[in-house]
C-alpha cells in the first residue's frame, strides 16, 4: 500500500485524486488538507478513514474542534498543510493547493526528501531555484501533475538531453481563443470561467482565459526539466487532445495524446512508476480529427509574453509575476478590475521588482508579500481612473 497525503483535497484536482484512489487499488490516504471547506473535508476523512487533517483557515477549522470530532487531529492556520507533511508518515505527497499558499508545503515535502506529485505549479513559479535546488539536493524527482508537464515527463523519459531541441506546450486557448484585443475589453468573470475543454478551479480558469496559465507553465517546464526559455514553445491546440510535444534534433516530433481528463496525469503521478488500468475512456482517433495548431496572439494575450520575460529576468521577477497575477485575477473575479487590467497590473509590478533572487523560503515569502501590496495599490489606482 502506498500511503498518500492529499493537500487541497476539496478542490478540482483533490476531488479527482480521491476518485482515482477510490476506483483503484494499492493507495491509501493518510492525510488530507483544505482551505476552508471543512464540511467536505470531514466527509472525505470519514469516507477514506483518514484522521490526520489540516485546514488553512483558522475560523473554518473551529468547525472540526476536538469537542465535536475527537477522532481527528486537526492542524489549523496558514502553515497547517506544511505541518501535516512534516508530522505524518507518507510515501507520496500530492500538492493540489491553489496559488502561492502551496509553496510552504512543497518546501516541507522536499526538505524531508519525500516524493512529491506537484499540481501546484505556483510553487515552481514563485519558488524557482529554491524549489528546484532543494529537489536536486534531496534527490527528489518531482512528478508533475499538470497535464502538459506529465506528458513531457513521459516523453522525455527515453531521450538523451542532447537530442532534445525544444519542448512544446499546447494550450486550448481558453474561452476567448480567436478574439482580438478589442473584443476582450468588456468580458466578465462568468465569460472567463466558461472553459471549453477542461473543468477546473476558478483561479486556473481565469489564468487559462488570460493565457497566464501557459505562461506559468513555461516557467514550470523550465524548472522541472532544466530547459532554457528559448527552447520552450507554446502552440494553441483547441481540441486539447495533444498535451505536449518534444522536438528532437533529427527532425522527429514526439507527441503525447489522450482525452482531456486530469484523472490520467493524476493517476500517472500517484502510481508512478507503475501504470494502471484507468476509468478514463480511450481516445478514439477517427473521431478526434482534425487536430488544429495555431500561433498564440501576443497582442490580445499579453500575459504569456510577460511570463516569458519574467522567466528570463530571474526568480525575483517570476515570484512577483505570480503574486501580481493572483491579486489581479482575484480583483477581476470580484469585479474590481477589467479583464485587460490583469496584464497591466502585472507589468507595473514587474517594473517595480528588483533583480536579486530570493535565497530561501522566507525570502520568497517576503518578496511575494511585497509584490501583493504593490499589486493591490495598482488595482486601486486603476479603479480610481476607471
**In 3D, which of 104, 89, 122, 113 has the Cα closest to residue 13?**
122
Q: Which is nearer to ligand NDP, 11 or 311 (CB)?
A: 11
Interface with Mg ion, residue 146, by CB under 5 A: yes
DSSP class of residue 91? S
Q: Segment 193-252, which members bind Mg ion (CB under 5 A)?
A: none
Residues 115 and 93 sit within 8 Å (Cβ to Cβ) = yes
Q: Which is nearer to ligand NDP, 56 or 270 (CB)?
A: 56
Q: Which part of the chain contacts Mg ion (CB under 5 A), choosing from 50-58, 112-120, 140-148, 277-285?
A: 140-148
Q: Which of 17, 21, 29, 34 binds ligand NDP (CB under 6 A)?
A: 34
Q: Which residue sits closest to ligand NDP, CB atoms considered?
A: 11
Q: Segment 178-207, which members bind ligand NDP (CB under 6 A)?
A: 198, 200-204
Q: Which is nearer to ligand NDP, 266 or 382 (CB)?
A: 266
Instruction: Report residue 37 as a C-alpha cell.
Output: 471547506
Interface with ligand NDP, residue 122, by CB under 6 A: yes
Residues 145 and 119 sit within 8 Å (Cβ to Cβ) = yes
Q: Which does 14 bind (CB under 5 to 8 A by kind): Mg ion, ligand NDP, none?
A: ligand NDP
Residues 318 and 114: their CA atoms lie apart, in Å, by: 25
Site track for ligand NDP across 74-93, x = CB under 6 A: -------x------------
Site track for ligand NDP across 217-256, x = CB under 6 A: ----------------------------------------
Pairing of strands 164-171, 242-248: antiparallel
Instruction: Report the alpha-carbon angle 252-255-261, nearest 5.
Output: 175
Half-sphere exposure (Cβ direction) of 288: Cα atoms closer than 13 Å: 14
**In 3D, which of 94, 93, 30, 100 has the Cα closest to residue 319?**
100
The alpha-carbon radius of gyration of the chain (Å, integer) is 20
Rounded least distance, CB 101 to ligand NDP, Å: 3
Q: In what order do the strands lie in the sheet with 116-118?
A: 73-76, 52-55, 27-34, 2-7, 92-95, 116-118, 143-144
Interface with Mg ion, residue 122, by CB under 5 A: no
Chain residues in the site for ligand NDP (CB under 6 A): 8-14, 34-37, 56, 81, 96-98, 101, 119-122, 146, 198, 200-204, 262
Interface contacts to Mg ion, rule CB under 5 A: 146-148
Amino acid at each position: 500500500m502506498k500511503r498518500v497525503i492529499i493537500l487541497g483535497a476539496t478542490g478540482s484536482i483533490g476531488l479527482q485524486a480521491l476518485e482515482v484512489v477510490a476506483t483503484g487499488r494499492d493507495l491509501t490516504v493518510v492525510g488530507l488538507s483544505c482551505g476552508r471547506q471543512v464540511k467536505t473535508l470531514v466527509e472525505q476523512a470519514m469516507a477514506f478513514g483518514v484522521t490526520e487533517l489540516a485546514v488553512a483557515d483558522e475560523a473554518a477549522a473551529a468547525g472540526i474542534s476536538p469537542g465535536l470530532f475527537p477522532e481527528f487531529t486537526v492542524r489549523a492556520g496558514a502553515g497547517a498543510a506544511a505541518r501535516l507533511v512534516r508530522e505524518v508518515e507518507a510515501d507520496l505527497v500530492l500538492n493540489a493547493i491553489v496559488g502561492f499558499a502551496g509553496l510552504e508545503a512543497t518546501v516541507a515535502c522536499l526538505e524531508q526528501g519525500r516524493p512529491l506529485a506537484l499540481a501546484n505549479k505556483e510553487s515552481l513559479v514563485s519558488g524557482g531555484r529554491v524549489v528546484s535546488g532543494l529537489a536536486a539536493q534531496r534527490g527528489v524527482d518531482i512528478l508533475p501533475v499538470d497535464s502538459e508537464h506529465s506528458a513531457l515527463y513521459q516523453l522525455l523519459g527515453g531521450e538523451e538531453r542532447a537530442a532534445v531541441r525544444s519542448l512544446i506546450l499546447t494550450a486550448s486557448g481558453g474561452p476567448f481563443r480567436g478574439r482580438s484585443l478589442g473584443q476582450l475589453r468588456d468580458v466578465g468573470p462568468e465569460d472567463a470561467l466558461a472553459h471549453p475543454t477542461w473543468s477546473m478551479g476558478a483561479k486556473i480558469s481565469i489564468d487559462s482565459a488570460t493565457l497566464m496559465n501557459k505562461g506559468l507553465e513555461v516557467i514550470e517546464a523550465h524548472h522541472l526539466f532544466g530547459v532554457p526559455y528559448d527552447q520552450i514553445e507554446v502552440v494553441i491546440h483547441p481540441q486539447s487532445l495533444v498535451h505536449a510535444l518534444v522536438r528532437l534534433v533529427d527532425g522527429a516530433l514526439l507527441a503525447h495524446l489522450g482525452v482531456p481528463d486530469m484523472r490520467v496525469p493524476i493517476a500517472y503521478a500517484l502510481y508512478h512508476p507503475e501504470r494502471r488500468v484507468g476509468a478514463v475512456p480511450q481516445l478514439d482517433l477517427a473521431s478526434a480529427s482534425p487536430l488544429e495548431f495555431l500561433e498564440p496572439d501576443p497582442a490580445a494575450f499579453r500575459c504569456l509574453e510577460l511570463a516569458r520575460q519574467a522567466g528570463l529576468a530571474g526568480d525575483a521577477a517570476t515570484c512577483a509575476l505570480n503574486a501580481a497575477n493572483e491579486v489581479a485575477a482575484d480583483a477581476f473575479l470580484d469585479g474590481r478590475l477589467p479583464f485587460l487590467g490583469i496584464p497591466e497590473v502585472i507589468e507595473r509590478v514587474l517594473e517595480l521588482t528588483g533583480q536579486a533572487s530570493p535565497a530561501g523560503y522566507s525570502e520568497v515569502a517576503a518578496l511575494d508579500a511585497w509584490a501583493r501590496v504593490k499589486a493591490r495599490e495598482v488595482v486601486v489606482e486603476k479603479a480610481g481612473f476607471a
